[in-house]
């Protein structure tokens, strides 16, 4: 009929989620976490190895910069037994006989990273900006290793992870 309007009333439903919807969401999150956590744990040792290498490179660059700015010799001395290293300041511009400790880095041992070898230990940073030519090898608990190479010109290079 013309002019007749039919109106449908809707009963308002309270907001929120049902228990079934919440249980489905929690189950989905649990499945995703079950898939993600083992993958994250598998790459964690490699991540820590890269992080330790960046720390070593930062500290070697720090020693090189301090040597040039203070006109003093610096060195980074690695201890393969305790997996730590020291940054030390020399008493002369070249050929230092007495060294004073500037900082000790123990983070490698805490992160389960070993200083496997160093071709020349310590790494010297001279006031001219030059450094000792050396290769430092770091190794993690899974047997993965990574090499850091310093050049006489003061350049640092981090290699890929090898097994």
> Can you list the alpha helix ranges (DSSP code H) found in 11-158?
19-70, 107-110
pLDDT tens-place values along the chain, 163 residues long: 566 776 666 766 677 888 999 999 999 999 998 888 888 888 888 889 999 999 999 999 999 999 999 999 999 999 888 888 999 999 876 777 889 999 998 888 777 888 888 888 899 999 998 999 999 999 998 999 999 999 999 899 999 888 8
Rounded Cα–Cα distance for residues 60 and 98 (Å): 19
pTM above 0.85, yes or no: no
Collect all residues with Cβ–Cβ distance below 8 Å to 44 and sequence separation of at least 6: none
Topology classification of domain 21-158: minor pseudopilin epsh fold (3.55.40)
């Amino acid at each position: 009929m013309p002019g007749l309007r039919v109106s449908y009333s809707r009963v308002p439903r309270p907001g929120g989620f049902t228990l079934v919807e919440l249980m489905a969401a929690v189950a989905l999150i649990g499945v995703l976490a079950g898939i993600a956590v083992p993958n994250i744990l598998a790459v964690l040792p490699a991540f820590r190895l890269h992080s330790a290498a960046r720390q070593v490179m930062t500290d070697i660059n720090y020693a090189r910069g301090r040597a040039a700015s203070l006109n003093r010799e610096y060195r980074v001395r690695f201890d393969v037994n305790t997996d730590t290293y020291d940054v030390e300041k020399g008493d002369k511009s070249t050929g230092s006989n007495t060294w004073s400790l500037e900082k000790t880095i123990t983070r490698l041992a805490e992160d389960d990273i070993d200083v496997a070898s160093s071709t020349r230990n310590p790494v010297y940073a001279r006031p001219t900006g030059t450094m000792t030519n050396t290769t430092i090898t770091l190794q993690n608990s899974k047997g993965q290793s990574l090499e850091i190479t310093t050049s006489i010109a003061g350049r640092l290079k981090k290699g890929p992870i090898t097994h």
